[in-house]
Structure 1
């Protein structure tokens, strides 16, 4: 994983070392993710926030660039089901995600047992584990409470 940068020049250098062209769109997306507090963002949200900062880019370009940055290892993709993903800066730390299917809140966790099983499963199939995220889906406590509020008991 390349070092975090707060200016386009180091981002450009890192992109070029990874075999990418270092286009303005690649720099804008990588720079945004590096400057932003760690989080999980949809492509649409990344696109909207970059546009709000004055950079012009098509949404389709944002999707294409995110794919390139995922392939190059700069960004991690958190799959949330058919045709929907969130993206986060790849920090190199192996972790997984719990995603609320109601409100979309994402919680990160790391479990040593799951991490060991990943390596064992990859080895069983003759592969070397290099990383992949796991997204478990459920309903968070807040959404559960809203759907099933507690009622005072009758006396």
Structure 2
């Protein structure tokens, strides 16, 4: 991943070094992701929050810019299903995701055994890994507790 900074000028320089034009939309999206606490955001959420800050940009532009930033290595795409993805600043550190199918919460985890196994499988099949995603989908403990609250004990 190209080096990043929270300075808009340095962000623009990093985009240009990565072969991008450094458009206002690219700077806005990357700047937003850099300024937020680490998180996972839908394209719609990124668009809405940037627009709330006064930046004028079409949703289709947001999707196009996210695709460009993924291709350049600034942003990672976390696919969640057939037509749904979340985006996060690409830290360059291998990690995977736990996704609650009820509330949509996403938690990151990293497991050295899974990482080693992934590499071994790729080697076995002669695959040069250029990207990877592992998202385990389920119901988080909070949602499970709301769906099946503990029963009061009889006295």
Tell me which interval the TM-score lies in, with the shorter structure as reference length. over 0.9
If the length of structure 2 is used for normalisation, what is the TM-score?
A: 0.95
TM-score of the pair, normalised by structure 1: 0.95
Which structure 2 residues correspond to residues 34-53 of structure 1 after superposition, within 5 A? 34-53=34-53
Q: For the Cα contact (< 8 Å) 1:118–1:129, is it kept in 2?
A: no
8 Å contact from structure 1 (residues 94, 131) kept in 2: no
How far did residue 125 of structure 1 move? Answer: 2.1
1:43-76 C-alpha deviation (Å, 9 max, x unpaired): 0110011011111000010011101111111000
Superimposed CA distance per residue, residues 57-100 of structure 1 (whole angstroms, 9 cap, x where no aligned partner): 00010011101111111000111101001100001110000000
Q: Which residue of 2 aligns with 1:135?
A: 135
- 1:10-38 Cα offsets, whole Å, 9 max, x none, are 11111111111111111110111111111
C-alpha RMSD over aligned residues:
1.1
Task: List alignment gaps of at least 5 residues for structure 2.
Answer: none
How many pairs were matched up?
A: 155
